[in-house]
Amino acid sequence: MAVKLDGIDILILNNLQKNGRMTNSELANRAGISAPPCLRRLKNLENKKVIMGYRADIDRFVVGYNFAALCLVSIIKQSTQYFEDFVNYIRTLDKVRKCFSTAGDFDFILEVISKDFADYEKFLTNYLKTFENIEKIKTYVMVSCNKNEKGVPIGERD
């Protein structure tokens, strides 16, 4: 169930999505309220799990992850247990940054990053292809990212 947000909540969330390190007083100023009610609203948004956490947005290229791919994966047998086993396995692999269950020709789409193509090949051979219930894998190399918007469009206009 969606949480009902008022205009001030929307201002708080939009500002935090742009800068999660903003001080409470700066956030309050931008939301047009004083610091104590801003902090109460912030804690309320955290308690309701609207805000799930705070983290650094790291540039993968700067830290040496120059290769990215989308892996489409089909599981051999369409059973809940096989799907759960695969998801649990994928959660142990650090190079898999996102895993989406999908409907269609493939069961999962993985976003995988690695240092280079050779490092990606090692990942495929030593980790992904060793999972026994995979039927097929299709890789799409990410050439460039044309949009990488973080968060959600809080308060968007229809």
pLDDT tens-place string over residues 1-39: 788 999 999 999 999 999 999 999 999 999 999 999 999
- pTM score, whole prediction: 0.86
Classify domain 8-47 at the CATH topology level: Arc Repressor Mutant, subunit A (1.10.10)
Q: Please report which confidence band the pLDDT of residue 156 belongs to, taking 50, 70 and 90 as the band edges.
A: low
pLDDT of residue 114: 98
Ramachandran angles phi, psi of 58, nearest 5°: -95, 135
Instruction: Give start-end residues of each CATH 3.30.70.920 domain in the chain.
Output: 67-141
Q: What is the DSSP string of 48-72?
A: TTSS--------TTTTT--EEEEEE
pLDDT tens-place string over residues 47-99: 999 999 999 889 999 999 999 999 999 999 888 999 999 999 999 999 999 99
Classify domain 67-141 at the CATH topology level: Alpha-Beta Plaits (3.30.70)
